[in-house]
Amino acid sequence: RAPLADFEEKFISLNYESDNKIIKEIFCRIKMVNPNDGQCLPKSSAMVFALDPSLKKDTWNTEHWLAQSSDQELLDKLDNKEDVHNIGNLLLISSSLNSHIQNMAPTAKVNYINTNEKARLLVDQSLTDFIDEYKEFHDNWNSDVINKRAKKLAKACYNIFWRDNYLTQGS
């Protein structure tokens, strides 16, 4: 196991354009693990988030919280335009929900999720937790917030989610 500093450096450099498969795996793993104790959820709960490489179209999409095609005014809040593809700006959401919110601004996404009954049915606990945790930043989603979230995710993955707790056939 690498030291935290080395792990964090590699983790926060993950980029949607070159590392999307790895990023999807990371976010699926996060969704499959209890964040309080680092143990895999019961198989019936965890399997919802398992990726199936044989599928031509996934049921889960990597979503840019600040969309790649956002208004220039929103993209101008980024110190580095590549931060839009940084893991700190990414979430794993259902493909059905993504089809509705993909190009909205962060505040519009939150509003849609909170006010649309069908959207609320597609939201899992980790998305709800993310929205609550970052509620004061949705109006000003910028490089600083993205980079802090990337570091927080790295530490959580290193300390909680990166245990040997994948589902096994016996689980």
Q: Where does residue 150 rank: exposed (0-12), middle (13-18), buried (19+ CB within 10 A)?
A: buried
| Nearest alpha-carbon partner for 93 in 71, 115, 67 | 67
- Strands, DSSP E only, in the chain? 60-64, 90-94
Is the pTM higher than 0.95? no
Tell me the CA distances in angstroms from 139 to 5, 8, 119, 120, one per residue in order: 31, 27, 20, 21
pLDDT, position 168 = 45
Quick check: helix, strand or coil at residue 145? helix
Segments in the chain below pLDDT 70: 1, 52-57, 163-171
Tell me the CA distances in angstroms from 136 to 41, 48, 71, 110, 131, one per residue in order: 30, 30, 20, 12, 9
pLDDT, position 53 = 64
If you search the block for the tokens 């209890």, which residue do you land on?
Answer: 34
What's the token pair of residue 160? 């909680």
What's the token pair of residue 116? 């649309």
If you search the block for the tokens 């937790």, which residue do you land on?
Answer: 129
Q: Render pLDDT for 68-98 as a digit per residue (tens, 0 to 9).
A: 888 888 889 999 999 999 999 999 998 899 9
pLDDT, position 80 = 93
What's the token pair of residue 126? 């980790």
Q: Render pLDDT for 92-116 as a digit per residue (tens, 0 to 9).
A: 998 899 999 989 999 999 999 999 9
How many CB atoms neighbour CB 90 within 10 A? 27
Quick check: helix, strand or coil at residue 123? coil
